[in-house]
A and B are shown apart, each in its own frame.
Chain A
Amino acid sequence: MLNCREVTRLLSESQERTLSLSERMSLKVHLLICAGCRNFGKQMDALRQIARAYVKGANERRDEPDD
């Protein structure tokens, strides 16, 4: 069975490539029992959102009314 280190590696890689069926199945099994890695997986998506928002200048944006 995969350990957390391997699982986080796969979760990171899934941002670059499509995982194989067996990788996805091993992931799924681990995530069922590991809240830490589940959170890590969600954070990978959050990191991507954050990076995209940063490039779009979210850090500079004031609360401008949308007109």
Chain B
Amino acid sequence: MSKVEAIPECVGQAANESNSLLADSGFLEVLRRQMLKFATLQLSDPNLAEDAVQEALIGALRNARSFAGRAALKTWVFAILKNKIADILRQKQRTIDASSLLREDEEDEDFASLFNQKGFWQADQHPAAWPHPEEALREGEFWLVFQSCLEKLPGNQARVFMMREFVELDAHEICETVGLSTGNLHVMLHRARLRLRECLEDRWFLAGEQPC
């Protein structure tokens, strides 16, 4: 579904550039590693993940002529990978050990630092207004923070969050795939988002108080 925006006169040039991209083993290796991380988290199976990534890369290389630059190639590879992962997950119908996901005491513990007994924000935990979140998207450093915040999520929370937000499966598809009830899924996504937003706020959006 990604648009190919090559103007006819530029086709030769774009093809040259993508050929050189493909010859750029450093770039390909970084891309491969990123995709592998993504796929491994999604599938929780290194072998399946490796296969899916290989197939996505091969699929993209086959169409190498259509890419005008790194960003375009990456978008395309991710689109292929995303579909592959969605297919694998749909077929696999894995079950997450539901009892390990939702321990009530763990749930309370999670929230006790954020909310008081009446369920209102603790004094120092009110979410702040994030200044210009769209500007963060252009900062290389921001993405390092984002990745590390994602990695700090409990594995199952990270997985359903990524299925929802990266692979863009809907709630029903995720529940079917991992054998969760809708209620459990909502709880997990809620927890994942509470943690993520807290992490991003502490480490990025409010971390820039000191001059750079």
Residues of A within 8 A of B200 (CB): 47, 50
- The prevalent SS among residues of B at the interface is helix
Number of residues in B with C-beta < 8 Å to the partner? Answer: 49
Contact A47 B186, beta carbon cutoff 8 Å: no
The CA-CA distance from A9 to B184 in the complex, in Å, is: 12
Contacts of A36 in B (CB 8 A): 121, 125-127
Q: Is B196 an interface residue (CB 8 A)?
A: yes
Closest residue of chain B to A2 (Cβ to Cβ) is B119
The answer to whether A46 has its CB under 8 Å from any CB of chain B is: yes
- Per the bound structure, the CA–CA distance linking A9 and B140 in Å amounts to 31
User: CB-defined interface of A44-62 with B at 8 Å, one 1/0 digit per residue?
Assistant: 1011111111111111111
- Is B130 touching A39 in the complex (CB atoms < 8 A)? yes
Chain B 162-212 residues near chain A, CB threshold 8 A: 164-166, 170-171, 185-187, 189-190, 193-194, 196-197, 200-201
CB contacts (< 8 Å) of B190 on chain A: these are 8-9, 12-13
- Measured between beta carbons, the chain A residues less than 8 angstroms from B30 are 60
Q: Is B65 an interface residue (CB 8 A)?
A: no
Flag B130-157 by CB within 8 Å of A: 1 or 0 each: 1001101110101100110000000000
Interface secondary structure of A, over-half rule: helix
- A51-B75 contact, Cβ under 8 Å, with A12-B186, A15-B189, A46-B130: no
List the B residue with the shortest CB-CB distance to A53: B137
How far does the alpha carbon of A60 sit from the alpha carbon of B13 in the complex, in Å? 22
Cβ–Cβ < 8 Å partners of A58 in chain B:
137-138, 143
Query: How far is B140's CA from A34's CA once the two chains are assembled, in angstroms?
Result: 33
